[in-house]
Amino acid sequence: MRKIILPIIMATMVTVSAQNDYTQYVNPIIGTNGMGHTFPGACYPFGGVQVSPDTDTIPHNINGKYQPGVYDYCAGYQYRDKTIVGFSHTHFSGTGHSDMGDILLMPFTGEVQLNPGTADNPDAGYRSRFSHETEKCSPGYYEVRLSDDDILVQLTATPHCGIHKYTYPKGETQKLIVDLNHAIYNYDGKVLWASLRMEDPYTLTGYRITNGWARENYVYFAIHFSKPVAHYGYQDFGKQNYHGFWRRFDLNHNFPEMAGRKVVAWIEFEQDDDPVLEVHVALSAVSTDGAMINLEAEALRPYRQQNANGTTSDAFHRLSFDEIFQSTQKAWNEKLGIYEAEGTPNQLAMFYTSLYHTMINPSIYQDVDGQYRGVDHNIHQNEEGHTNYTIFSLWDTYRAEHPLLNIIDPKSAADMVVMAAKVYTMFCPCGAMPGTKTGV
């Protein structure tokens, strides 16, 4: 790819060479305080997953009355906050309105608590205090230590997967919250339905449907654990007036089908001497099968193994956290390396962080096999060699974002134009969000 030489300033020069790690000049914390509406977590260039900490649960409205404080949380994170609620997998960057915050995970030890608590009283729930001194972030990487349970959290991402690595204190029982009721710009009734299924001791699948800025958003997922599950359960905090014959079962403990409108689940893993638990989370807008295909393509490597009795069976080589992060870091360096900038350290940080922010949205919105959900909610097959995208805020981005991408990434820009044309034929000339349209 042809490089663009950009002199920022002619005095006190620091030159970025082709051999340098361009990601070192990016500071994802920039814009996370006040109204910058950016997030510090991990994502792949234009990736469909943005796995990042959410630091509070301010609702969009209570009984229909708008809550002004929610606007601060368009990206889920505020630098001034002292607690982390958990780590969700979808986030907007730099927008003036919001949605998303899908599939929140939170590692913990000790007593199971299924509500997030509050910033004033974090001990009342599963959220945790943290210190910025333990935060580290760069393109495709985020790290923090949860102070309350002394758990080190590391995050990275692929185009379709959020990759978690948790280091628990030695000797502690390793547990995990899976909150399908959590959302950014949440309100009572936003989640229309959510479902979980424990496929085997290592695999959890499911989906949820929400009604927010995206009027009908489907998020399917497949989660693979590096250790087997020992026990699990859930609670639906929504009222169900009909239970059918399901009521004959103990649905809340070790029952493989979990569903409802306000579902929060907990998982306990089998104990061993290894304090590390890795969790790979793949998303799809098409199906749980689509999520599994994405997971196998980017985080697991399926193969046929030879058994001792002469038969063969399906097996997986699980890619490690470090392997995946190195691949993601390489992808970011290739994107950021289109420019060779010169300037002071602060100027380089400002320039490369701004460039980084142009490559988060729009986001990939198709499975690795080319299937995607259209704004008509039918499942479509994309043409080979083309990529479908979502999250277009065209009333802002047509001025600068898309002209820039025409210069530095014409292939992606062309695919985005094709996608915009498809949205027009399916509905109207407007911005697009996952599986729907924004109306702006």
CATH class of the 4-329 domain in this structure: mainly beta
Sign of the C-alpha dihedral, residues 251, 245, 207, 200?
positive
pTM attached to this predicted model: 0.92
> How is 279-339 classified by DSSP, letter by letter?
EEEEEESS-HHHHHHHHHHHTEEEEEEEPTTS-EEEEEEEPPHHHHHHHHHHHHHHHHTTE
Would you mind telling me the total number of residues written for the chain in this entry? 440
Pinpoint the alpha helices (H) of 178-302.
288-298
The candidate with the shortest Cα–Cα distance to 293, out of 367, 401, 354, 211, is 367
Cα separation, 225 vs 360, in Å, equals 27
Burial class of residue 415 in the structure, from the number of CB atoms within 10 Å of its CB (0-12 exposed, 13-18 middle, 19+ buried): buried
Q: Which residue has the tokens 């042809």?
A: 2
Cα separation, 184 vs 70, in Å, equals 9
Per-residue pLDDT of the chain (440 residues; tens, 9 = 90+): 556 655 654 333 345 555 689 999 999 999 999 999 999 999 999 999 999 999 999 889 999 999 988 999 999 999 999 999 999 999 999 888 889 999 999 999 999 999 999 999 999 999 999 999 999 999 999 999 999 999 999 999 999 999 999 999 999 999 999 999 999 999 999 999 999 999 999 999 999 999 988 788 999 999 999 999 999 999 999 988 887 887 788 889 999 999 999 999 999 999 999 999 999 999 999 999 999 999 999 999 877 777 888 787 777 788 999 999 999 999 999 999 999 999 999 999 999 999 999 999 999 999 999 999 988 889 999 999 999 998 887 777 778 888 999 999 999 999 988 888 877 776 654 555 565 555 44
User: What is the residue type of 107?
Assistant: P
Q: In the chain, pLDDT over 70 holds for what percent of residues?
A: 92
Q: Where are the domains of the chain?
A: 4-329
User: What is the residue type of 83?
Assistant: T
> How is 57-69 classified by DSSP, letter by letter?
---SEETTEE-GG
114 contact partners, CB below 8 Å, separation of at least 6 = 126, 177, 235, 237, 264, 266
CA dihedral 152, 156, 162, 166 (to 10 degrees): -20
